[in-house]
Structure 1
Amino acid sequence: MGFSRPVAACTFTVVTFAAMACSPTEDASARAGLVAGTQSGKVRGSESRGVKHFQGIPFAGPPTGKDRWEAPRPPVSWSGVRNATDPGSACPQEPTEQPRRVVEENCLYLNVTAPRSDRTRKKPVIVFLYGGGFTAGEASKYKADQLVRQGDVVAVTANYRVGVFGFLGLPGLKNSGSFGILDQQAALRWVRRNIAAFGGDPENVTLAGQSAGGISTCINMMSPGADELFDKAVIHSGPCTNTGNGLLAPVGEVEKEGKKIERELGCSSLACMRSKSAVDLLDAVAKSHAAVGRVAYGTPTLPTRPDKAVQTGRIRSMPVLVGSTRDDGTLAASGLLPLIGGVTHDSWPAVLKGLFAAPDDIPKITRRYPVRTKQEGTDQFTAVQTDWGFSCPAAAMRAGAASRMPVYGFEFADRKAPKWPGLGERMPSLPLGAYHASDLNYLFDMPTKLQPDQNVLSREMIEYWMGFMYHGNPNHPGLPAWPSATQENGSPVLSLAPGSGGIKPVDASSEHNCALWNHLGRH
């Protein structure tokens, strides 16, 4: 895709990074609170329905040329006022979440959404990291107007490099398997230094993320480079206590996958790799089948295997929300079941062996998740994806952290949540229920429509999240009590569903057979 940064013209000519503003426009924008000063230069945003938007702000220099596979550099300063009315490009990726392949590497941009409030008190800040399996995703997809308006907070969404551009590993390459995480930390440093200009409190920053973004949030709780960059954490369907989901690996394994790409490109040096185009790299990943969406551990960025870090207390203490959705595994199941031809009584042990590669565990799993019919095969495969992949790793993180910090657990449980466009098309007969990422419909302005009772739940969830961002405790007057997930009280979680009695504490560990998965040690 071509470079498409918004550039304003006053009278004349194109400016490379910034637009020089005409003074009457600048004065009017400044009076409206739509011009903000950053350490790199001034930006002009826009306003919609009482919310201010500043989009496409560079928080780092372009990671291109010799800066490809380097830690992010500071952004280049500009003079005048830069237009910040359109988001920057997504980072290079295949068309999974994007309508087409993205090849623009100049992508380290963030977006700020702020309330149109004239109150002088600085507001809590939430920085949200997208999911996408570390191979896809885009910050501008997550619009935070309702969250900002109702919660009176400032929201930031930031791009980070994904796939081969964000997580390439090669022997001798500094920061192997870590570049996307370093991008996130650069965005957090930008927030600490600049967010006050947008009405945010740099001393009250909540880092949140979903799926790979949740894993990233967890990683940043233990990464030396993120020390003192945020104050609270929210982890949606991405606890980094699950090391069996293919998104975390020892640095040596990540580097072996990188060598596949190097060989496919016919390169024997980093200079050769950097000389290739983004198209060449994406093609090489596709042809080599290299796994490039994995964060490396055993590195300066992530020294310790994350589940071990949680268990041994090598994780920074801060208030944290950790949760998942009631049917978190349905999306994975809907993609995998057609590939394996479904699950029958006879094939179930072989399917489990392919998932876990631990034959001694298979009888224990089949006793708890028996398959007698084809429908049971679908149901039990889906249940295992949810329990092993999401619910029990979330419970493990809560249990591991609860003795050291304030922890609150949640399970989003609206099984009639609206579907994002295109979800479940490969297996339309499989009910998605409270599917992976369905909770984001209730916190962000997504391309779905909520029913009246779901709108009520959305407002209630934002009240809880607002309480957490302000005070580190999600409890809010007039809403059901949210118990802390301490080890003494059995680690209850708050189930979030619409309707009378839909919000209530539940024992998610029992419902998802976590005693079995704890025993098997699969997370």
Structure 2
Amino acid sequence: MNCFNSCKHENLVKQLSYNTMFFQALVVSGILCLSHLASAASTDGLTVNTTSGQLQGFVNQTAPDVRQFLGIPYAQPPVGPLRFAPPQDPVSSQQLINATTLPNSCMQQFSNGSTIYTAYEREFLISGGQSEDCLYLSIWTPSLEGIDAKGSPLPVFLYIPGGGFTSGGQNSMYKIPDKWVQRTQSHIVVIMNYRVNVFGFPNAAALSHQNPGLLDQRKASVEWTSKNIAQFGGDPDRITLWGQSAGGASVANYPYAFADDPIVAGLIADSGATGIIAKSDPTHSNFSSLAGLVGCSNLNASAELNCVRNVNATTLESALSNYVISKKTPAISFTPSDDNITVFTNYTDRLVHGHLAQLPLITGSNTNEGAGFVPFTPSGPGNATLVNTTLSIIACPVARDVARRDLDSTKYPTYRYLYTGNFSNISPVSWFGAFHSAELPLLFGTHDEYGPGNSTSFEYSVSQTMEALWLSFAENPAAGPKRFNSSDGGYFAWPQFKQNASDLVVFADGGKTLQLATAGPRVDEFCGL
């Protein structure tokens, strides 16, 4: 190579090196700009990374200081070979998840019966659609400014909806907590879907796990939330598992099922107990009967299961619902089975032998639970029917759960209530009274949103008192619920329940926000306790 060509080559190399460095600088600069933009986009806290993927939440004008993340997948869709199977960890999405819409409910068993809910109380019913792809949860959390003002991670309510284990989900108008979180700016609410009826509790002979619906609750209510809630400003060490009706029964059952690894710090069971959860079907006849209705009869257990797994979800649900509505025999139903893994035949034995997580519990019932379970008529079924239904379905099972925990109250502190509220905007017909679920609008702060007429000042007082006690419990379950009333300087510490002592907290009775009473004359004497 001559000198001219050599010099030309060196200049070319220098120019290429300069161009390369310039291009790299542009790339780095661009990356920094993009990084800055991404950071700026997430400074409002609406983009959150989770084990399910990156979520995009939102705020609205109704609750401008509440970040809402709706429809977060906490497990893989339970479809195809995963129908009836325990929930599987979600595959982390590589796409941004638009968490701005409440999800479909799980497949619902429907009924044609008239109840107070279908006649007057539709805000308690499920809105929106249904789908077998339904394992989603939703989170309501304060703004970043609200969380920063507290200076520490917030306590978390993890709510399991009711529905008799045959229906239910998170999309229910009275149980949307955005305004409650907006008002307090001091807690987070998580609400889940879980599989119900045959999809959640199949009890098929070929299955090794008979209660995948309860395993959904564990996967959503504890494991996913515990792993991810810090990303939303929550404290994974202060998760309170709360549920009502079937959700309350699930909460009551939970410390027995996960005695050695509860993860949660406290429990709240509204109108739910272990005594309403278990049934036995050792021959698996319910599943086989339903299989016969959808063309899967006269097969061995494995073939029967595979056949039913391939039936269209709507076809399967319709076959079940229509058969139940027809009142044909033999009757079939799908609720949790006592497999002695997640549900047990002898709860007292488990407590005596220490197979119960040592977690504090708030639990109680309403004075007229029965109104929610009887067929609706304008004049009502009569007082005797209401009382007997209230006692047999809810009040006595709750009382027995409490009595069992009282066998060792130092290990299992219990705080018991009785709700008596009869507010006309929630109970517009006189005989409704404190029906099943009537306390929920006061706890979620939605009592003034939907019913006929306005909430009274007394109703607001009861609501704020109950909310404050529930929240103080979530803040420190080990210390028990307390309330300081800044308006009158009053202080109330909820005493632990003891049989035959005046430590039952009665809400909304006789014009008093709360008062202490003895449980015996109010409930327990009618339950043989």
| TM, length-normalised to structure 2 | 0.78
Greater Rg by CA = 2
**Contact (CA 8 Å) 1:35, 1:45: kept in 2 or not?**
yes
In structure 2, relative to structure 1, the CA distance for the partners of 1:168 and 1:53 (3 Å cut) is same
Partner of 2:25: none
In structure 2, relative to structure 1, the CA distance for the partners of 1:231 and 1:304 (3 Å cut) is farther
Q: Secondary structure at the match of 1:168?
A: coil
Match of 2:361 among 306, 314, 320: 320
**Contact (CA 8 Å) 1:125, 1:154: kept in 2 or not?**
yes
Q: Secondary structure at the match of 1:333?
A: coil
1:152 matches 2:186: yes
1:490 shift after superposition: 2.3
1:248 shift after superposition: 2.0
Partner of 1:77: 92
Gaps of 5+ in 2: 1-33, 112-124, 325-330
Partner of 2:503: 492
**Contact (CA 8 Å) 2:157, 2:242: kept in 1 or not?**
yes
Partner of 2:436: 436
Between 1:43-52 and 1:192-201, the stretch displaced more is 43-52
Between 1:202-211 and 1:225-234, the stretch displaced more is 225-234
1:226 shift after superposition: 8.0
Distance, in Å, in 1 between the alignment partners of 2:259 and 2:96 is: 31
Q: Secondary structure at the match of 1:263?
A: helix
Distance, in Å, in 2 between the alignment partners of 1:148 and 1:308 is: 40
In structure 2, relative to structure 1, the CA distance for the partners of 1:486 and 1:458 (3 Å cut) is closer
In structure 2, relative to structure 1, the CA distance for the partners of 1:175 and 1:135 (3 Å cut) is same
Q: Report the residue type matching 2:267 in the other structure.
A: A
Superposed, 1:91-170 pairs within 5 Å as 91-95=106-110, 97-98=125-126, 102-116=129-143, 117=146, 118-119=148-149, 120-141=151-172, 142-149=175-182, 150=184, 152-170=186-204
Match of 2:101 among 83, 86, 107: 86
Gaps of 5+ in 1: 1-21, 343-374
**Contact (CA 8 Å) 2:258, 2:357: kept in 1 or not?**
no
Superposed, 1:29-40 pairs within 5 Å as 29-40=41-52
1:248 matches 2:248: no
1:49 matches 2:49: no
Partner of 2:11: none
In structure 2, relative to structure 1, the CA distance for the partners of 1:130 and 1:488 (3 Å cut) is closer
In structure 2, relative to structure 1, the CA distance for the partners of 1:510 and 1:307 (3 Å cut) is farther
1:454 matches 2:469: no
In structure 2, relative to structure 1, the CA distance for the partners of 1:114 and 1:68 (3 Å cut) is same
Deviation track 1:110-147 (CA, whole Å, cap 9, x = no partner) reads 00110121234111111000011011111132211233
Distance, in Å, in 1 between the alignment partners of 2:415 and 2:103 is: 34
In structure 2, relative to structure 1, the CA distance for the partners of 1:480 and 1:263 (3 Å cut) is farther
Superposed, 1:470-481 pairs within 5 Å as 470-472=475-477, 473-478=480-485, 479=490, 481=492
Q: Report the residue type matching 1:271 in the other structure.
A: N
**Contact (CA 8 Å) 1:144, 1:443: kept in 2 or not?**
no
1:454 shift after superposition: 1.0
Q: Secondary structure at the match of 2:200?
A: helix
In structure 2, relative to structure 1, the CA distance for the partners of 1:52 and 1:103 (3 Å cut) is closer
**Contact (CA 8 Å) 2:368, 2:435: kept in 1 or not?**
yes
**Contact (CA 8 Å) 2:243, 2:250: kept in 1 or not?**
yes
Partner of 2:419: 412
1:273 shift after superposition: 0.6
Q: Report the residue type matching 2:105 in the other structure.
A: A
Partner of 1:381: 385
1:239 matches 2:273: yes
Partner of 2:213: 180
**Contact (CA 8 Å) 2:48, 2:231: kept in 1 or not?**
yes
1:192 shift after superposition: 0.7
1:461 shift after superposition: 1.2
Q: Secondary structure at the match of 2:171?
A: helix
**Contact (CA 8 Å) 1:126, 1:156: kept in 2 or not?**
yes
1:492 shift after superposition: 2.6
**Contact (CA 8 Å) 1:103, 1:278: kept in 2 or not?**
no
Partner of 1:273: 308
Q: How many residues align?
A: 446
1:306 shift after superposition: 4.2
**Contact (CA 8 Å) 2:255, 2:262: kept in 1 or not?**
no
In structure 2, relative to structure 1, the CA distance for the partners of 1:252 and 1:226 (3 Å cut) is farther
1:251 shift after superposition: 4.8
Q: Secondary structure at the match of 1:297?
A: coil
**Contact (CA 8 Å) 2:165, 2:196: kept in 1 or not?**
yes
Distance, in Å, in 1 between the alignment partners of 2:216 and 2:467 is: 27
Distance, in Å, in 1 between the alignment partners of 2:260 and 2:432 is: 36
In structure 2, relative to structure 1, the CA distance for the partners of 1:440 and 1:380 (3 Å cut) is same
Q: Secondary structure at the match of 2:103?
A: coil
1:401 shift after superposition: 1.1
Distance, in Å, in 1 between the alignment partners of 2:353 and 2:363 is: 18
Distance, in Å, in 2 between the alignment partners of 1:506 and 1:324 is: 14
Q: Report the residue type matching 1:435 in the other structure.
A: F
In structure 2, relative to structure 1, the CA distance for the partners of 1:308 and 1:65 (3 Å cut) is same
**Contact (CA 8 Å) 1:35, 1:43: kept in 2 or not?**
yes
1:466 shift after superposition: 1.0
Partner of 1:284: 319
Distance, in Å, in 2 between the alignment partners of 1:173 and 1:113 is: 36
Distance, in Å, in 2 between the alignment partners of 1:66 and 1:232 is: 35
Distance, in Å, in 2 between the alignment partners of 1:493 and 1:440 is: 19
1:223 matches 2:230: no
1:499 shift after superposition: 8.1
In structure 2, relative to structure 1, the CA distance for the partners of 1:163 and 1:307 (3 Å cut) is farther
1:468 matches 2:499: no
Match of 2:229 among 191, 195, 209: 195
Aligned-CA RMSD value: 2.7
1:396 matches 2:394: no
In structure 2, relative to structure 1, the CA distance for the partners of 1:480 and 1:504 (3 Å cut) is farther
1:284 shift after superposition: 2.2
Q: Report the residue type matching 2:396 in the other structure.
A: C
Identity %: 27
Q: Secondary structure at the match of 1:205?
A: strand
Distance, in Å, in 2 between the alignment partners of 1:173 and 1:62 is: 18
Distance, in Å, in 1 between the alignment partners of 2:356 and 2:268 is: 14
Deviation track 1:483-502 (CA, whole Å, cap 9, x = no partner) reads 43433662631111178533
